[in-house]
Each structure stands twice: as structure tokens, then as C-alpha cells.
């Protein structure tokens, strides 16, 4: 009986030691029972190829990739190696990666919207400058010419404004209408030389043969636009001054006073001369030069040249020996009825 009890006690002790061994093993391997269902035991050839040399807490460097979760597991104790698959969302040498959001743009059509806005602003500039130059009826022709030159792209910036002025001049010149370059340059606020270069480029690009500009037509235009500076003159006096001025301008062309020179200073000089000839008071060459967009010093020089030329012409007549610069107006009665 005592032997049976001693053998039973020994068996109970052995069973207890076995239970404690299992408990200790479970404490050391916390994820044993979880990976018993998900991991492959033993590791397959595919998982063994993915082994990495990463140390586990148990000291083993043998690991494999779990085919279900993609996590790295120790091949010895089957412990999950935490933070192994952490992917830091940082960029490389080209900067941070991710979704780029552009503020202020709508959808994927921003490129087309930019082109539409550019064309809209370009046409608005054309409308404003044609109104400023008092040629609204030529707006369509100017727009068509710019569209042909830029191949429908139009443009923006200072160069495009100069192009608008050049096309306005070319359109008016092509239609045998007068529009001085100096007036265009003042409206679009650019240098006359810069505008002249752009006009030459437009003419060469379109291969145009522009008609010769009429200086007499330029005088008629300027005197019609600036009669307010000539004082109170009746309709008959205005028409008489216009005829006298056109006659003098044509004579000045024959006398080579306009060869290689800008026509506007001569136009201003003739306007002042015919005003003095008809007794219109208060006309100053400086004011007339400002109205016709010409340099005051150049206008005074052309006025002096005009008087000297008239004196030379008058002295060739039988009664013109006593004519000089000071009294040439008194002997200009023939001009009163050209």
C-alpha cells in the first residue's frame, strides 16, 4: 500500500513539473499560439529565401517573412519583430513624396484656362488701345493681324503692347489713312524708335508693300484735330487755313524740307505760319508742337527753315528783293487765295 502511494506521489510531482515547464515555455514565447495558426511550420523554401540578418531577443538571426501578414518572424522562437516593416513617409533627394495640391487652380484644365485668360486679356488690351487711338472701327483688322503674326497665341507684356501699336499703324497705313507714329508711341507709352523697329518687323513678316504717306493728308488731319488751339475761327477761315497749309506743305515737299525728316515738326510749323498769316492771335509753336506730339525745338527749327526758304523763293521774283525773314508775312498775300 505504501509503495502504491509513493509511486502516485512521484507521478503527481512529475506531472506538476511538466505543467510548470509548459507554463514557462509559454511565458518566454508570447506569440507562440498566435503564429501557430498563421505562420508556416516548418518554414518553406520560399520563406527561407527571404531570411534577413536581423537579431531577435533570443539571440537568433534567422528570420522569415510571414506569407499572410508580411511581417518578419524569428525562425527560432517565432517572435514577431516589431517595427521592421515601418515605412517612413519622407522623400529622397527630390523632396517629399505624396499628393501635390496646387492652391488656386481648378482641376486638370489649368493650362487651357491660362491660355484662355491670356487671349482674353490680349483682346481687351487691343480694344483699349484702339479706343485710345480713336480707331475703334479698325479693331477687328488689328486683332486679325496680331492673330496671324502670333499664330493665335497672342501674348502679354510690354512687347505685346508695342506689337499692338505697330499693327494699328500698319492697318491705318495700308488703308491709306493717317496715324502718326509719335501719337501711337505716346498712347502706348513706348519709345518712337522701339515702335519703329516693331513696325519694320511686322511689315517684313507679312511681306507688305505700304503706300506712301501723304504729308498733306497728315496736315489736314492735325489741323482738324487741333483747331481749338487756333482760337475762334469761323468755318470759312478754317477752310481757308486748311487750303493754305496744304499748299505750303506740298511746296515744302518740293523744296526738300521733309527729305529724311519727321513730318510732324514741319506740319506744326506750317500750322503756326498760316495762323499768323490769317491774323489768329494766341497761337504759340510750343503749344502746337505739344498737340501734334512733336519736339518743340525741332518745330522751331522747321519754322525757321520754312521762313528762310520762302524768302529765297520770294527774292527770285521781280518785287522780292526787299523780302526778308521779318517781313515775309507781309508779302505773303498770294497765299491768301491759293
| Secondary structure (DSSP) of 216-275 | HHHHHHHHHHSGGGG-S--HHHHHHHHHHHHHHHHHHHHTTSSTTS-HHHHHHHHHHHHH
Q: Which of 285, 265, 124 is nearest to 182 (CA)?
A: 265
Determine contact, residues 253/217, Cβ cutoff 8 Å.
no
**CB neighbour list of residue 193: distance below 8 Å, 6 or more residues apart:** none
Please give the C-alpha separations between residue 234 and each of 195, 275, 278, in angstroms, as whole numbers. 38, 13, 12
Burial 32-56 (b: 16+ CB within 10 A, else e): eeebeeebeeebeeebeeeeeeeeb
What distance lies between CA 265 and its chain's CA centroid?
35
Quick: pLDDT tens for 293-309. 889 999 999 999 999 99
Distance CA 239, CA 232 (A): 13
Q: What pTM does this model have?
A: 0.60
Relative to beta strand 63-65, strand 72-74 is antiparallel
Burial 176-197 (b: 16+ CB within 10 A, else e): eebbbbbbbbebbebeeebbee
Quick: pLDDT tens for 227-239. 666 667 777 888 8
Phi, psi (deg, nearest 5) at residue 64: -150, 160
Tell me the Ramachandran region of residue 293: left when phi exceeds 0, alpha when psi lies from -120 to 50, beta otherwise: left
Distance CA 29, CA 64 (A): 17
Phi, psi (deg, nearest 5) at residue 223: -75, -30
Determine contact, residues 47/67, Cβ cutoff 8 Å.
yes
Secondary structure (3-state) at 278: coil
Q: Please list the pLDDT of the chain residue by residue as tens digits (338 residues).
A: 555 445 555 566 666 666 566 666 555 554 444 444 444 444 555 444 444 456 677 877 788 877 777 777 888 887 877 655 555 555 555 555 555 555 554 544 445 578 888 999 999 999 999 999 999 999 999 999 999 999 999 998 999 999 999 999 999 999 988 899 999 999 999 999 999 999 999 999 999 999 888 888 888 888 887 666 666 777 788 888 888 899 999 999 999 988 888 899 999 999 999 888 888 887 888 888 888 888 999 999 999 999 999 988 888 877 778 888 888 887 776 555 54
**CB neighbour list of residue 159: distance below 8 Å, 6 or more residues apart:** none
Distance CA 4, CA 10 (A): 10
List the beta bridge partners of residue 95.
Answer: 92
Q: Which of 317, 318, 283, 281 is nearest to 299 (CA)?
A: 283
Secondary structure (3-state) at 297: helix
Distance CA 123, CA 117 (A): 10
Run of H or E residues at 73 = strand 72-74
Determine contact, residues 243/236, Cβ cutoff 8 Å.
no
Secondary structure (3-state) at 64: strand
Amino acid at each position: 500500500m505504501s509503495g502504491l502511494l509513493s509511486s502516485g506521489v512521484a507521478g503527481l510531482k512529475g506531472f506538476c513539473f511538466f505543467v510548470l515547464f509548459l507554463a514557462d515555455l509559454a511565458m518566454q514565447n508570447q506569440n507562440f499560439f498566435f503564429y501557430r495558426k498563421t505562420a508556416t511550420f516548418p518554414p518553406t523554401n520560399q520563406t527561407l529565401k527571404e531570411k534577413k540578418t536581423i537579431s531577435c531577443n533570443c539571440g537568433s538571426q534567422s528570420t522569415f517573412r510571414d506569407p499572410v501578414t508580411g511581417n518578419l518572424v524569428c525562425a527560432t522562437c517565432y517572435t514577431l519583430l516589431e517595427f521592421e516593416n515601418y515605412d517612413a513617409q519622407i522623400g529622397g533627394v527630390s523632396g517629399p513624396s505624396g499628393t501635390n495640391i496646387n492652391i488656386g487652380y481648378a482641376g486638370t484644365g489649368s493650362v487651357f484656362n491660362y491660355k484662355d485668360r491670356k487671349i482674353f486679356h490680349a483682346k481687351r488690351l487691343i480694344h483699349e488701345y484702339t479706343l485710345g487711338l480713336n480707331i475703334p472701327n479698325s479693331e477687328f483688322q488689328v486683332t486679325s493681324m496680331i492673330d496671324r503674326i502670333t499664330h493665335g497665341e497672342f501674348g502679354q507684356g510690354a512687347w505685346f503692347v508695342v506689337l499692338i501699336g505697330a499693327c494699328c499703324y500698319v492697318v491705318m497705313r495700308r488703308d491709306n489713312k493717317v496715324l502718326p507714329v509719335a501719337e501711337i508711341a505716346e498712347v502706348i507709352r513706348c519709345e518712337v524708335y522701339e515702335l519703329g523697329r516693331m513696325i519694320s518687323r511686322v511689315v517684313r513678316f507679312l511681306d507688305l508693300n505700304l503706300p506712301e504717306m501723304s504729308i498733306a493728308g497728315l496736315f489736314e488731319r492735325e489741323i482738324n484735330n487741333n483747331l481749338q488751339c487756333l482760337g475762334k475761327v469761323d468755318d470759312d477761315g478754317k477752310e481757308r487755313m486748311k487750303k493754305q497749309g496744304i499748299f505750303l506743305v506740298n511746296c515744302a515737299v518740293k523744296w526738300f524740307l521733309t527729305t529724311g525728316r519727321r513730318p510732324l515738326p514741319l506740319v506744326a510749323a506750317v500750322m503756326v505760319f498760316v495762323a499768323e498769316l490769317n491774323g489768329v492771335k494766341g497761337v504759340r509753336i510750343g503749344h502746337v508742337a505739344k498737340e501734334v506730339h512733336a519736339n518743340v525745338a525741332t518745330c522751331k527749327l522747321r519754322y525757321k527753315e520754312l521762313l528762310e526758304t520762302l524768302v529765297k523763293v520770294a527774292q527770285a521774283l521781280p518785287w522780292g528783293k526787299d523780302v526778308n525773314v521779318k517781313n515775309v508775312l507781309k508779302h505773303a498775300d498770294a497765299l491768301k487765295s491759293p
